[in-house]
């Protein structure tokens, strides 16, 4: 019997401090949010269609645990932070790159809040996630002399970050935090396709 309690128990057992399983775990988070919105009781068996969806997600979670360990020991690497959002979730991904080689080192994601935000505001939340993650990585990888590049496919967010125009409080507060963390770093456009 698949219940909300069972799904929460299984998803909360996943230990993924670097977020390398984020592409799969975010699906579980979104699924839990959907069940929560539909107000199912904790121990009520879910409808067949939701049980089938959970089986697919659980299968993905089980197969996603195969990873390859890499060690970065060179001081000429660059840090690339990519941020993106959808109406359901937002997040960021960090790569360390040298020449034409790159290694995924960390990801972070968040499910979109129940109080709906516009897509540009969710993209801005992804940019904050990326800025905070880069700050953490720069401190953690202090022995590596890396230059950090930030990438977003949201031209609105890039405009907010490069503009001195007055904006509403929500945007202004987040842009201020991002600029404080990233300093004079340039945010670049990453084409959506």
pLDDT digits (tens, 9 = 90+) for 148-187: 899 999 999 999 998 888 789 999 999 999 999 998 888 9
Q: Residue 157: what pLDDT? A: 95
Query: Cα(133)–Cα(117) distance, rounded to whole angstroms?
Result: 22
pLDDT digits (tens, 9 = 90+) for 64-100: 755 555 544 455 788 899 999 999 999 999 998 887 8
The sign of the CA dihedral 176, 180, 184, 187 is negative
Q: Residue 71: what pLDDT? A: 47
3 state SS of 136: helix
Q: Are strands 101-111 and 148-152 parallel, antiparallel or unpaired?
A: unpaired
Q: Residue 100: what pLDDT? A: 80
Largest CA distance in the chain: 56
Q: What domains lie within the chain, and their CATH numbers?
A: 4-63 (no CATH), 78-189 (3.30.420.10)
Q: Are strands 148-152 and 78-85 parallel, antiparallel or unpaired?
A: parallel
> End-to-end CA distance of the chain, in Å?
41
> What is the arithmetic mean of pLDDT over 4-22?
83
Q: Is the pLDDT of residue 146 over 50?
A: yes
Q: Residue 75: what pLDDT? A: 57
């Amino acid at each position: 019997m698949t219940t909300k309690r069972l799904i929460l128990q299984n998803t909360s057992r996943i230990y993924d401090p670097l977020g390398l399983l984020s592409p799969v775990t975010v699906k579980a988070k979104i699924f839990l949010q959907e069940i929560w919105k539909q107000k199912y009781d904790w121990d009520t068996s879910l409808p067949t269609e939701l049980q089938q969806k959970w089986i697919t997600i659980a299968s993905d979670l089980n197969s996603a645990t195969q990873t390859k360990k890499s060690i970065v020991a060179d001081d000429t690497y660059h840090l690339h932070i990519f941020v993106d959002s959808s109406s359901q979730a937002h997040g960021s991904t960090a790569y360390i790159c040298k020449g034409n080689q790159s290694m995924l080192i960390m990801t972070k994601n968040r499910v979109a809040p129940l109080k709906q935000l516009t897509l540009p505001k969710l993209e801005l939340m992804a940019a904050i996630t990326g800025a905070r993650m880069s700050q953490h990585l720069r401190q953690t990888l202090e022995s590596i002399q890396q230059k950090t590049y930030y990438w977003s496919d949201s031209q609105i967010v890039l405009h907010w970050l490069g503009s001195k125009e007055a904006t509403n409080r929500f945007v202004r507060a987040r842009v201020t935090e991002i600029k404080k963390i990233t300093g004079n770093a340039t945010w670049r456009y990453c084409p959506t396709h």
